[in-house]
Amino acid sequence: MARLEDGANVRCAEQQLTRRRGPAVVMVLAVTAALLAACSSSSSASSAKSSVSHAPKGPIKIGMITSLSGPYTPLGTNDKLGAEQEVNAINTAGGIGGRKIDLVIENDGTNPTQAVTDYQTLVSDGVVGIVGPVFSSSAQATEALAGRNKMPTIYTAASDNLVNPVQYYVYMTPPTTKIVAQQLLAYMKAKGYTKMAVAHDTSAFGMAGWDNMKAAAPSDGVDFVYDGTFSVTSTDFTTILTKVKASGAQGLMVWGAGPAEVALTQQAKQMGLTLPLLFSHAEASYLYTKPVGAAGNGVIIASSIGGIGPYLPASYPGRSVITSFAATFQKDNGYYPPEFAFDAGGAVAMFAQAIRQDGATPAGIAKALGAMTITTGDGTYHFSATDHSGLSVPQVAITRDVNGTLEPTNFTKSRIGG
């Protein structure tokens, strides 16, 4: 039996039945039409009610933990600037489905214990995901909380231990120390460096970097003849540099982050140490090149591909994303974005893409992240069930400090083309 969908159908049926069966039928049809109208009205009201219940309700809260005090303040400050830039861009464009992002920031003070407290505070505040911390030791202290709270967390720290082994709710944006170590070793091999010294800090980042490099060095024919350690707050490197000078090494590889590396470089210059200095991607920014001054000229520094954005050929995949982010950051802050700004801005972009795809819930975000491909200022990520770091060795650049500017070495130029 056909449904009477609207008033036109009711009137048509009424006319036909009136002609066939007489006036009595009209009353039946009138009642039927009234009932249908009521049902239609009820259905519309129900639909409207359902629509309202699913309408956006307020901003989407994304949490952030970073170091706005303590030794990692320069890193954390630029994490904050990068994340805020991405949030502003999204909100200015109308938000996500009409909802703005509310970035809730906590300061861990470069202190793992405080980071744990901050994480719990953000969970209680109703965030749908967390960016950071940038301090690897803080990140490791909070890692278990991500799984326990089923909270998608994108770390801006670079220790491989965060994503190896893979944990469902945990991701990271910086190039891992493993792929950075591999690219630096490839550079050493290309330069013919077979005897090297290393100095590394005792943070989770410094230890992870050295562990990865030490494991891969034999396959590249590199032998480390001296291994020195220092703390993230060290200021005197006389003993380490004296031993490096006497070791017969062809160069010194340094793993660490923060102001200690500035002091090491300046003291190496003062002591007349002429062998090459190589640094990890933690120093790929003006935060190192500006305070180190002329002493940094010629220093070799690993970097994400975003660090050499101005030198990328026009055909390089994702170049426009990198240069667009960098141009805005430089206009707003007066300097080219350091690694940390790219890391945090990229994390926010990842959360935004996940929310657009699977909704503003921790479960939806985690699902989307697990199979995400996205280009940010750090390069193009390919996340999967077995890879929560996303970047590959070719997306690590080897740069040289030239009067405070990071320029790609010939080693990297030959690999990026153009």
* Residue 391 domain-assigned (yes or no): no
**Are 305 and 336 in the same domain?**
no
Q: Tell me if 389 is assigned to some domain.
A: no
Q: pLDDT for 333-352, tens place per residue?
A: 999 999 999 999 999 999 99
Tell me: do 285 and 154 sit in the same domain: no
Q: Facing residues of 374 across strands?
A: 381
Both 339 and 253 in a single domain?
Answer: no
Q: Which residues have a Cβ under 8 Å from the Cβ of 236 and sit 6 or more positions away?
A: 263, 267
Residues 193, 328, single domain; the answer is no
**Strand, helix or coil at 36?**
helix
Q: Decide the pairing of beta strands 170-172 and 153-155.
A: parallel
On the CB side of 70, how many CA atoms lie within 13 Å of its CA?
Answer: 18
Q: Which residues pair with 255 in a beta bridge?
A: 200
Strands 405-408 and 396-402: antiparallel
Q: Give percent of the chain with pLDDT exceeding 70.
A: 86
Average pLDDT of the segment spanning 245-250: 97
Q: Residue 225 in contact with residue 196, Cβ under 8 Å?
A: yes
For 204, the domain range is 178-312+397-416
Residue 32: its pLDDT value, please?
A: 39
What does 348-386 look like in DSSP terms, one character per residue?
A: HHHHHHHHHHH-SSHHHHHHHHTT-EEEETTEEEE-BTT
Contacting residues for 56 by C-beta, under 8 A, at least 6 apart: 97, 98, 99
| Tokens 């003291």 belong to residue | 267
* pTM confidence score: 0.82
Is 87 in the same domain as 106? yes
Looking at the structure, tell me whether residues 308 and 318 fall in a common domain.
no
Calculate the alpha carbon distances from 357 to 361, 362, 388 in Å.
Answer: 11, 12, 18
Let me know whether 39 and 130 are in one domain: no
pLDDT one-digit tens code per residue, 86-143: 999 999 999 999 999 999 999 999 999 999 999 999 999 999 999 999 999 999 999 9
